[in-house]
């Protein structure tokens, strides 16, 4: 029995991830994805989605008429996304099994938007910096970067609450999703350092989840 539970934990189970994300965001995950999809439509139609998981955001992008290139490194998640969206996706979506770092092989300046939800917080700082620079390169000038993720809140009281909840939250997050995420502290600065101008942002759950909307300056730093 105990071993069965452990097996479930260690398995990278797609169902668990979705349910866990929904609990961790107090049911807001979907609302946040809705906001990203809305912004992506304003940017144009060609969207690359980093870390599509089981396709929750991909579905919303498709519903809004985007052409989606969905990238994820977990084959089990991709398989689930593929079968869930089989009927809705005809010719409008391309699935790529790869790490986020490999979006640099998709071509330069070929997308209108890069969208990603709850994915950057699972990366190391080095990976994040690389992926953000690669995102800048694959966008056309003026293309949009849409990142929603768990962040360290800006305000002092919220920060304190965050620090106190951190330990239990990591454990809970891991038990629920099987992933270890680190709320991002300097995401805005990282986005700007990669060659973007932030043009808007929105927060959820007392600033613990934030959507950044940034525009490519069209001159990605080397």
Interface residue list for other proteins (CB under 8 A): 1-4, 6-7, 10-12, 73-76, 79, 97-102, 104, 122-127, 129-131, 171, 174, 178-180
Nearest-angstrom CA–CA distance, 105 and 204: 33
Using the minimum distance from each CB to other proteins, give the nearer residue, 73 or 201: 73
Q: Rank residues 4 and 157 by Cβ distance to other proteins and give the closer one.
A: 4
In terms of CB distance, is 127 or 192 closer to other proteins? 127
Taking phi first (over 0 means left), then psi (-120 to 50 degrees means alpha), and beta for anything else, what does residue 205 get? left
Q: Which is nearer to other proteins, 110 or 129 (by Cβ)?
A: 129
Residue given tokens 């349910």 in the structure block: 19
**CB of residue 48 to other proteins, shortest distance in Å:** 16
Closer to other proteins by Cβ: residue 39 or 54: 54
- Between residues 105 and 155, which has the closer beta carbon with respect to other proteins? 105
Q: What length is written for the chain? A: 222
CB of 152 to other proteins, least distance (A): 16
Q: Tell the smallest beta-carbon distance from residue 80 to other proteins (Å).
A: 10
Q: Do residues 12 and 76 touch, judged by C-beta distance below 8 A? A: yes
Q: Identify any residues that bridge with 48 across adjacent strands, giving them in sequence order.
A: 69, 114
DSSP string, 99-154: -GGGGGGS-SS-EEEEEEES-GGGS-HHHHHHHHHHHHHHEEEEEEEEEEEEB--S
Taking the complex as a whole, how short is the minimal distance between the CB of residue 54 and other proteins, in angstroms? 14
Q: How far is the CB of 2 from other proteins (least distance, A)?
A: 6
- Kindly report the backbone phi and psi dihedral angles of residue 114, in degrees, each rounded to the nearest multiple of 5, phi listed first: -115, 125
Supply the minimum distance, in Å, between the C-beta of residue 64 and other proteins: 28
């Amino acid at each position: 029995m105990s071993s069965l539970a452990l097996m479930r934990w260690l398995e990278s189970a797609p169902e668990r991830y979705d349910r866990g994300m929904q609990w961790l965001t107090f049911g807001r995950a979907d609302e946040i994805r809705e906001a990203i999809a809305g912004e992506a439509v304003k940017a144009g139609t060609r969207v690359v989605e980093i870390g599509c998981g089981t396709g929750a955001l991909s579905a919303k992008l498709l519903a809004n008429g985007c052409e989606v290139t969905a990238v994820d490194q977990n084959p089990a998640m991709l398989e689930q996304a593929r079968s869930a969206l089989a009927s809705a996706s005809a010719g409008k979506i391309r699935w790529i099994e790869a790490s986020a770092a490999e979006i640099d092989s998709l071509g330069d300046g070929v997308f209108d938007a890069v969208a990603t939800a709850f994915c950057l917080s699972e990366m190391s700082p080095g990976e994040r910096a690389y992926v953000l620079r690669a995102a800048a390169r694959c966008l056309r000038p003026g293309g949009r970067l849409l990142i929603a993720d768990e962040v360290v809140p800006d305000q002092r009281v919220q920060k304190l609450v965050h620090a106190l909840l951190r330990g239990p939250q990591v454990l809970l997050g891991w038990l629920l999703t099987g992933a270890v995420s680190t709320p991002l502290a300097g995401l805005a600065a990282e986005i700007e350092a990669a060659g973007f101008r932030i043009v808007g942002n929105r927060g959820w759950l007392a600033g613990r989840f934030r959507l950044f909307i940034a525009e490519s300056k069209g001159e990605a730093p080397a």
